[in-house]
Structure 1
Amino acid sequence: MEIINHIETDSQEDTSMDNLSRPGIPKPDELVPSRYSLQIGDIDVMVVSDGVLTLPGAMLGHNADPAARSAWLDHNFLPTETLDWGLNVVVVRSGGRTILLDAGLGSDPNLNLPRAGQLAHRLAAAGIDLASVTDVVLTHMHMDHIGMLLVDGVKEQLRPDLRIHVAAAEVKFWTAPDFSHVSMPPGFPDALRRAAKRFAEEYGGHLQTFEEECTVAPGVVVTRTGGHTPGHSVIRLASGSDRLMFAGDAVFAVGFEHPDWFNGFEHDPEEAARVRVRLLRELSATGELLVATHLPFPSIGHVAIDGDAFRWVPIFWDY
């Protein structure tokens, strides 16, 4: 597998220490990497960071013993009260199509999430015109996966023939969503309902629903897994001998060592745990690459078996 284009920041300015230290010299808006590109055979892939979500640490495993959860966070040099979750989106080019895998957070004035919702300007910084996007594939309809599509002015930039692929079970779920098994911070259930309702109203004519699986472009296949939400799906890329899975919210950082811990956003946490174990076993057996929404950017790595659990093996960055 050839890894190309490496890491890039949003800024096009000179970021040398000399320039940064001089008074009166404008500083770049961001000095963090926001995109990472690689090849999966003939398929072009770019992971784009939409920023980070700062959420309570307890949401990593609300069914776990608090002492065990704190110990895991401490072992990983992470704070125990709040945690920054990565928010990754993937752009794929295959067979003449430009495909957005999920669409980031956008913005909700009722929630305080100032460090996320960066996708629109980061796509522009990467040279990706919204008008060039032919397809959007949604792993599910939580607001941090559909939100950019709801930002003012975005829809007007999209193609009139844009296709949005989502599992039929996901669309049905959000007509009357069940939040009885989640453990979310206050305000999130209402925000999720609002976003899903508005999305269905504004983009209903663009939806291409499927029952269990569909092929979006050569080597780009989306498959419903359920669990996190009833219509949650993963996207598999395959070209030549190369493979990559975009797992959406099926896998979180703690899920390798503790796949049985319930994430606070899972609507069916027991099924989500079963899905997580199945996917991690598959990935460890095949050796294919994994990208997931909430793993630390750029979220590209392999899965290994580690005793009775799993181990995340990040790729070595190609500079």
Structure 2
Amino acid sequence: MNLQNTAAPRRTGHEELVPSRYAVRVGEIDVLIVSDGVLPLPTKMLGHNAEPAARAAWLNDMFLPTEAFDWALNVVVVRSGGQTILVDAGLGLDPDLNLPRAGQLIKRLAAVGIDLAAVTDVVLTHMHMDHVGGLLIDGVKERLRPDLRIHVAAAEVEFWKAPDFSHVNMPAGFPDALRAAAKRFAKEYQSHLRLFDEEAEVAPGVVVSRTGGHTPGHSVVRVASGGDRLMFAGDAVFAVGFEHPEWYNGFEHDPEEAARVRVRLLKELAATGSSLVATHLPFPSVGHVAVEGDHFRWVPVFWDY
């Protein structure tokens, strides 16, 4: 062995040194978590109703910067009963926002060998642009199946006809970008939408359920097979939400209800032992929830190689 040839990794320009996908088996169902990249945002958005000193203390305890840091963007692919289901679609490419490290989903699906034409169903936890934007990239729609089914809560589609931003706390430009992306998505994919009121079975063992809170139609996806359970919680749970579920996230359109939903889901996860995956938890975000006094604790899984 020539140590001079192995001392440093060779970079071709196409290799990624940071993992961007992680596979999980839920009984007989395959789940793949794919990173859409990261989204730099002000730390105030983690809890805009919290005292600044308390928020700064939590960030310090987590070894995070106090002003802004990178939020993970996680998407899930589920294979069950002959169906390939994409849960959320990432940020896409909005040139007005200048977010070059996000919007990686389409190329990462290709890298793992998932053809867009093989996707039978899309489930949207909600219609914020970091969950629908990947479907709005030029050329993507033409690569999708003509019979693609997109499952989304009826309340979500209705909300974006005249969205209320009076309770959010977002950086400038985000409300307009969110409104424009949702409007464009609803127009371009109207014929593919499969609306549900409270709950729908998308495939064997894959159920989407409306929670509300973050947005009126925000939903979570539960995957169950054999004795295994996994919940994709979308934007109902953030990293700070285990210790401080009462803190309001800046993207929540009904923050009081979102906090109630968060506590209910965390209690469910702790009681059932189900695995948790969420959009903005650090990749790959797979873990469990434990109760610790009057709050919760996130327990990341040991990576399975």
TM-score strictly above 0.5: yes
Identify if the C-alpha distance between structure 1 residues 26 and 270 changes in structure 2 by more than 3 Å, giving closer, same or farther. Answer: same
Partner of 1:260 in structure 2? Answer: 246
Seen in structure 2, the aligned counterparts of structure 1 residues 16 and 35 have a Cα distance that, compared at 3 Å, is farther
Query: How far apart are the structure 2 equivalents of 1:103 and 1:63?
Result: 29
Secondary structure of 1:33 counterpart: coil
Q: Could you tell me which of 182, 187, 209 is aligned with 2:168?
A: 182
Query: Residues 238 and 56 from structure 1, CA distance in 2 versus in 1: closer, same or farther, beyond 3 angstroms?
Result: same
Structure 2 residue aligned with 1:48, among 34, 45, 59? 34
Q: Which amino acid aligns with 1:68?
A: A
* Cα distance change on mapping 1:17 and 1:273 into 2, 3 Å: farther
**CA shift in 2, pair 1:70/1:213, >3 Å:** same
Name the CA distance, whole Å, in 2 between partners of 1:214 and 1:65: 40
For 1:84 and 1:209, locate their aligned partners in 2 and report how far apart those are by CA, in whole Å.
33
SS in 2 for 1:18: coil
Distance in structure 1 (CA, Å) of the matches to 2:152 and 2:300: 29
Candidates 202, 208, 216, aligned match of 1:222: 208
1:18 is aligned to 2:8 = yes
Q: 1:17 & 1:89 partners in 2: Cα distance?
A: 34
Q: Confirm or deny that 1:74 pairs with 2:60.
A: yes
CA distance in 2, matches of 1:175, 1:224: 18
Unaligned runs of 5+ in 1: 1-14
Matches of 1:317 and 1:292, distance apart in 2: 16
Hey, what's the Cα distance between the residues in 1 that align with 2:198 and 2:8? 55
**For residues 196-229 of structure 1, what are the alpha-carbon distances to aligned partners after superposition, in whole Å with 9 as ceiling and x for unaligned?**
0000110000000000000000000000000000
Which of 12, 17, 23 is the aligned partner of 1:37?
Answer: 23
In the TM superposition, 1:281-300 aligns within 5 A as: 281-300=267-286
Q: What's the TM-score, normalizing by structure 2?
A: 0.97
Question: In the TM superposition, what is the alpha-carbon distance from 1:38 to its structure 2 partner?
Answer: 1.3
Match of 2:116 among 130, 134, 141: 130
- Structure 1 CA distance for aligned equivalents of residues 14 and 205 of structure 2: 38
**Which 4+ stretches in 1 moved above 4 angstroms?**
none
- Structure 1 vs Structure 2: percent identity of aligned residues? 77
Write the letter of the residue equivalent to 1:275: V
Opposite residue 39 of structure 2, the aligned amino acid is L
Partners of 1:56 and 1:294 lie apart in 2 by: 14
In structure 2, what is the equivalent of residue 120 of structure 1?
Answer: 106
1:268-308 alpha-carbon deviations (Å, 9 max, x no partner): 00000000000000000000000000000000000000110
Taking the aligned partners of 2:85 and 2:63, their CA distance within structure 1 comes to: 36
Which residue does the alignment assign to 2:188? Answer: 202
SS at match of 2:230: strand
What is the match of residue 264 of structure 2?
A: 278
The two structures have a TM-score, normalised by structure 1, of 0.93
CA offset at residue 83 of structure 1?
Answer: 1.2
CA distance in 2, matches of 1:49, 1:186: 25
Corresponding residue SS for 1:254: helix
Change beyond 3 A, Cα 1:237–1:19: closer
> What is the distance in 2 between the residues matched to 1:46 and 1:30?
18
CA distance in 1, matches of 2:216, 2:33: 25
Q: How large is the Cα RMSD of the aligned pairs? A: 1.1
The AA in structure 2 aligned to 1:234 is V
Deviation at 1:26, TM superposition (A): 3.0
1:84 aligns with: 70
1:244 aligns with 2:230: yes
Does residue 1:99 correspond to 2:99, yes or no? no
For 1:273 and 1:18, locate their aligned partners in 2 and report how far apart those are by CA, in whole Å: 47
Distance 2:148 2:211 in 1: 24
Per-residue deviation, 1:17: 4.2
After superposition, the C-alpha distances for 1:177-213 in whole angstroms (9 at most, x for unaligned) are 0000000000000000110000011000000000000
Q: CA deviation at 1:28?
A: 3.8
Which structure 2 residue ranges, 5 or more long, are not aligned? Answer: none
Of 195, 199, 211, which aligns to 2:197?
211
- Does residue 301 of structure 2 align to residue 315 of structure 1? yes
| Alignment correspondent of 1:12 | none
Aligned pair count?
A: 301
